[in-house]
């Protein structure tokens, strides 16, 4: 059974700091991995999607890496801003387009 773990569970950093969120999964038989952002009272917003054959994806200040063989992914946020405060969720995509999510990392960026 696929299990996804995210570390840390919560993180508080001062504005401007670079930070790394970690995601690990137990079964490397995945199609891709996706990072989402969740704001209170809102749905999930897709940030980055990395195919299983890729090593990393970048979008603006965000960079996500994937090491499928070791079952790990990281989300790097450069020059963090208060508007980055949210919960960040990692999910792996399995056969049948099923997503298995981690519990998330709650990020707070202090101004």
Partner 1 sequence: EAGVAQSPRYKIIEKRQSVAFWCNPISGHATLYWYQQILGQGPKLLIQFQNNGVVDDSQLPKDRFSAERLKGVDSTLKIQPAKLEDSAVYLCASSSIAGTKYEQYFGPGTRLTVT
Task: Name the site residues for partner 1 (rule: CB under 8 A).
Answer: 4, 32, 34, 41-46, 49, 51, 89, 91, 93, 96-99, 101-104
Burial of 30 (0-12, 13-18, 19+ CB in 10 A): buried
Minimum separation from the CB atom of position 26 to partner 1 (A): 14
Looking at the Cβ atoms of 22 and 51, the one nearer to partner 1 is 51
Instruction: Judge whether 57 and 24 are in contact, CB under 8 Å.
Output: no
Instruction: Judge whether 20 and 80 are in contact, CB under 8 Å.
Output: no
**3-state secondary structure at position 88:** strand
Looking at the Cβ atoms of 95 and 111, the one nearer to partner 1 is 95
Minimum separation from the CB atom of position 79 to partner 1 (A): 27
Minimum separation from the CB atom of position 60 to partner 1 (A): 19
Question: What span, in angstroms and rounded, lies between the C-alpha atoms of 68 and 33?
Answer: 9
Looking at the Cβ atoms of 69 and 97, the one nearer to partner 1 is 97
């Amino acid at each position: 059974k696929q299990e996804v773990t995210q570390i840390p569970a919560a993180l508080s950093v001062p504005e401007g700091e670079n930070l790394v969120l970690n995601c690990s999964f137990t079964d490397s038989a995945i199609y891709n991995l996706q990072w989402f952002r969740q704001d209170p009272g809102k749905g999930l917003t897709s940030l980055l999607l990395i195919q299983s054959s890729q090593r990393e994806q970048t979008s603006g200040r965000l960079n996500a890496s994937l090491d499928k063989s070791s079952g790990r992914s990281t989300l790097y946020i450069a020059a963090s801003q208060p508007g980055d405060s949210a919960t960040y969720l990692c999910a792996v995509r399995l056969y049948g387009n099923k997503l298995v999510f981690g519990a998330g990392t709650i990020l707070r960026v202090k101004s």
